[in-house]
């Protein structure tokens, strides 16, 4: 399959994530959209990894070019998991205080 399909898929997922972050008001849904953005990056990195690997493999069968992006994906997963733990803890802390996870509620407090 041409690499373009993967790029378009990944950009579509990423854009859904960005639009979600910018328009939704529920903290949990914003959070899910951020995860979607990170996963779009994972798809793209694996696709690029394969692309570079195939190109290098044609010249040298023992090459390791392109494997580093797949390793990067694991790092992204681990960091995303760490962010989830901290982020959900923050959201739970907020819920305990205001019994809501609505972002607008916070802006109302200020004025």
Q: Which residues bind another protein (CB under 8 A)?
A: 7, 10, 14, 17-18, 21, 27, 30-31, 34, 37-38, 40-41, 44-45, 48, 51-52, 65-66, 68-69, 71-72, 75-76, 79, 82-83, 86-87, 89-91, 93-94, 97-98, 103, 106, 109-110
Alpha helices in 1-111 (DSSP H): 3-23, 27-57, 67-98, 103-110
Round the CA-based radius of gyration of the chain to a whole number and report it: 19
Per DSSP, the three-state class of 102 is strand
When the beta carbons of 5 and 82 are compared against another protein, the nearer one is 82
When the beta carbons of 4 and 62 are compared against another protein, the nearer one is 4
Q: What are phi and psi of 42, to 5 degrees?
A: -60, -45
The minimum distance between CB 5 and another protein, in angstroms, equals 14
Fill in the DSSP letter of residue 62. Answer: T
């Amino acid at each position: 399959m041409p690499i373009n399909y993967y790029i378009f898929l990944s950009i579509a997922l990423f854009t859904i994530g960005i639009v979600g972050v910018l328009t939704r008001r529920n903290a949990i849904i914003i959070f899910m959209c951020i995860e979607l953005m990170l996963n779009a990056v994972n798809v793209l990195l694996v696709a690029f990894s394969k692309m570079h690997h195939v190109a290098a493999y044609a010249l040298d069968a023992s090459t390791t070019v392109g494997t580093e992006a797949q390793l990067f994906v694991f790092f992204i997963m681990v960091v995303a998991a760490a962010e989830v733990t901290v982020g959900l803890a923050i959201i739970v802390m907020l819920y305990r205080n205001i019994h809501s996870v609505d972002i607008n509620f916070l802006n109302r407090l200020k004025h």
